[in-house]
Every structure is written in C-alpha cells, then in structure tokens.
C-alpha cells in the first residue's frame, strides 16, 4: 500500500535452487511515507493548480492590461453573494474534515452525516452560482456571441444591432401591440418607458444620427449608474448594498423583458469571457467533487475507508482553495 522501491538481494546466488523453486527474495523499501492514492492525488492536484494558474494568469493579464474594465454593478455582479458562496465552501471544507475524523474514529453514521452535509453545502454553492448566472443571462451577458447582447461601445455596429433587433418580425408585432394599448391600461412607468422607446426607435433609424445619439440609446436600453447614484432595488433581482448602490435604475430592457435590445457595457465582453471561463471551470470541478461524494456515500465510512475519504477531501479542499483566490480576484478587484 505504500509506494515502494524493490531491491533484490544478491541476485546471482539465488539463481541456484536453494529455495526450492522460489524466486529471489526482494526487500521493498518505502519510497515515500504516504499511500499511493495520496501521492497520486497530490500529483493530480499539482496539475490542477497549473490549470487554474494558467486561467488566473490569463485573467490577471487581461484585466489589468485592459484600458477599460466594467464596474461590478455594470455587469450585475453581487459581492455579498460571492462572499456567501465563499462562506458556504469554507463550511463544506470543515464538514468533510469532520467526516474524515469521524471515519477514523469508526463513527460511521456521524461520518456519513458529515459527508451528506458536505454534499448539501456543495449543492448550495452550485445553486447560488446558477442563480448568479441566471441574473447575468437575463441581462444579455453570455460567454459568447451571438447569444451575448453586450457591446463594448456605442458605435455603428451597436446601432445596426439595435436596428436589426427592432426589425425582427416578432418584435414588430409586439411593438405594434404595445403602441396600440391605450394609456389607461398601462402604469405611468410603462407609459413613460413606451414614450422613451419610441424616441429610441426614432433615434436609431434617423439618417442624421450623431455619435452621441447612440450613447443615449444605449443608456436608455440599459443604464450604467455611477457609483454614488442612489439607485433603488428593482424587481428583486438586485438589492442595494454598501456604498456602491448595487441596485440599478430601470432601463427599457428591464421594463419590457421581451425587448432584449443589445446593451453597451464598456469592457463587458472581455469581462464576460473571463468570468464565465473561471467560474465555469470551477463549477465543473465542484460538480466532479459532488459526484465523488455521492459515490462515497454508498460505502461504509469506517477506518478502512479513511484513505479514500482523505483523498476526496484533498480534492475538495483544493476546490475551496481555488475559490478563495477566485472570489477577491473576480468580485472585489
């Protein structure tokens, strides 16, 4: 069970038949004072460290080398949710360590319960991540085009994308339906938004369009509040936090969820790429860890299985470690 090196003792002598048909007597010396499984797990973790170091290095280079990077509230990033996720993963690290301790002390039921707790906390992490992703998708922030409705600046490409969206047959029908609804049936905010939407459509198709007009259009579609704006929470998706005013003012995309016009977030596309890459790969690693724990739950978690649990725990702690670095780099920087 230990990693061993074999050394044969004086081979030539035993070529004779002294031992009645036995081979040479080999004496194994242990190479390292740890089990094979643990050694392999550490070697695997070092490869995973290299993997995440590459991704994190790419993020650092792109983020600090970019001339423009979006503010967290521009991309609907919530730091408190990230902090909560960090706390959840730290708790799950504690529970897996306790599961190991229980297993070593031959308290199999307790070990199984702690393992279930780890599984639940890991699933909670994934659930919160899914909620965060849903919030991004709702605002058109996807990892890639053509899904992604984010443009870096309000230029001609942005204008033509807005026109293309407004010119879609389904959109034309809905816009006509919206225009035909009498004012009495709509709330004042919707009436005001409808008026602004009509102005936006006019500005976007205007042949005498000024460069500034598209910026105004973009601001109407999805406003990018400045830090000291006293924005109020909207529809429950974001809540104001700290001094950053995490809530956001309502743009046309928020008032009319079916509108889905392209939006401008300077630096947003690069942000989306790195964010989804890093958190996506991390989430995949979390899922693999959860699968391992699910499989382990089918075993009797006594001292004989302590090695297996320890190795699974090593992997899980590594996943926690990566998140410990990801959280400040993605959310707080």
CA nearest to 316, candidates 102, 22, 99, 30: 99
Closer CB to other proteins, 163 or 199, in the complex:
199
Among residues 22, 180, 182, 207, the one that binds other proteins under rule CB under 8 A: 22
Residue 29 contacts residue 7 (beta carbons within 8 Å): yes
Q: Does 154 bind other proteins (CB under 8 A)?
A: yes
- 174: CB partners within 8 A, 6+ apart: 258
Among 55, 81, 98, 116, binds other proteins (CB under 8 A): 98
DSSP-derived letter for residue 234 is B
- Tell me whether residue 36 or residue 165 sits nearer to other proteins (CB atom): 36
Please give the structure tokens belonging to residue 215: 């910026």
Instruction: Give residues 297-316 in contact with other proteins (rule: CB under 8 A).
Output: 303, 306-307, 310, 313-314
Q: Report the residue number, 113 or 314, with the smaller CB distance to other proteins.
A: 314
Question: Does position 17 bind other proteins by CB under 8 A?
Answer: yes
- Return d(Cα 61, Cα 270) in angstroms, integer: 12
Site mask, other proteins, residues 159-198, x = CB under 8 A? ------------------------------x--xx-xx--
∠ Cα 289 293 295 (to 5°): 115
239 binds other proteins (CB under 8 A): no
Nearer to other proteins, 25 or 284 (CB): 25
User: Rounded to the nearest 10 degrees, what angle do helices 268-296 and 36-65 cross at?
Assistant: 170
- Which of 44, 55, 104, 201 lies at the binding interface for other proteins (CB under 8 A)? 104
Under the criterion CB under 8 A, does residue 153 sit at the interface with other proteins?
Answer: yes
Q: In the numeric block, which tokens belong to residue 325?
A: 């670095």
User: Is 148 among the residues that bind other proteins (CB under 8 A)?
Assistant: no
Nearest approach, Cβ of residue 332 and other proteins (Å): 6
Residues 253-272 that bind other proteins (CB under 8 A): 264, 266-270
Residue 79: DSSP 8-state: H
Q: How many CB atoms lie within 10 A of CB 9?
A: 10
Residue with Cβ nearer other proteins (129 or 305): 305
Whole-angstrom Cα distance, residue 54 to residue 26? Answer: 44
Kindly tell me which residue out of 12, 13, 21, 207 binds other proteins, with binding defined by CB under 8 A.
21
Q: Minimal distance in Å, beta carbon 177 to other proteins?
A: 21
Q: Does 273 bind other proteins (CB under 8 A)?
A: no
Q: Determine the Cα–Cα distance for residues 319 and 182; give it in Å rounded to an integer.
A: 56
- Min dist CB 145 to other proteins, Å, is 11
Taking the complex as a whole, the smallest distance from the CB of residue 104 to other proteins amounts, in Å, to 5
The candidate with the shortest Cα–Cα distance to 312, out of 144, 3, 103, is 103
Distance CA 176, CA 56 (A): 48
């Amino acid at each position: 069970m230990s990693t061993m090196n074999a050394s044969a003792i004086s081979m030539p002598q035993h070529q004779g038949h002294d031992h009645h048909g036995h081979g040479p007597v080999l004496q194994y010396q242990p190479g390292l004072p740890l089990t094979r499984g643990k050694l392999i797990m550490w070697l695997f973790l070092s490869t995973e460290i290299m993997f995440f170091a590459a991704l994190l290095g790419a993020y650092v280079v792109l983020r600090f080398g970019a001339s423009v990077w979006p503010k967290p509230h521009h991309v609907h990033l919530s730091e408190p949710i990230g902090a909560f996720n960090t706390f959840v993963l730290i708790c799950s690290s504690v529970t897996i360590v306790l599961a190991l301790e229980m297993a070593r002390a031959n308290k199999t039921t307790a070990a199984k319960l702690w393992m279930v707790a780890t599984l639940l906390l890991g699933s909670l992490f994934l659930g919160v991540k899914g909620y965060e992703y849903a919030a991004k998708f709702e605002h058109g922030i996807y990892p890639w085009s053509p899904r992604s409705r984010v443009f870096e600046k309000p230029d001609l490409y942005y204008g033509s994308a807005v026109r293309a969206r407004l010119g879609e047959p389904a959109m034309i029908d809905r816009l006509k339906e919206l225009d035909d609804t009498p004012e009495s049936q709509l709330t004042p905010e919707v009436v005001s938004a409808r008026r602004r939407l009509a102005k936006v459509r006019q500005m976007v198709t205007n042949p005498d369009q000024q460069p500034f007009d598209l910026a105004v259009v973009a601001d109407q579609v999805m406003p990018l509040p400045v830090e000291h704006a006293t924005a109020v929470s909207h529809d429950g998706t974001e809540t104001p936090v700290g001094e950053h005013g995490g809530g956001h003012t309502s743009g046309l995309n928020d008032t009319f969820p079916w509108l889905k016009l392209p939006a401008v977030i300077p630096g947003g596309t690069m942000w989306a790429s790195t964010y989804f890459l890093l958190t996506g790969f991390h989430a995949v690693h979390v899922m693999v860890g959860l699968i391992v724990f699910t499989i382990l739950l089918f075993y009797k978690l006594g001292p004989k299985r302590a090695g297996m649990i320890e190795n699974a725990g090593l992997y899980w702690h590594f996943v926690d470690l990566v998140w410990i670095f990801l959280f400040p780099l993605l959310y707080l920087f």
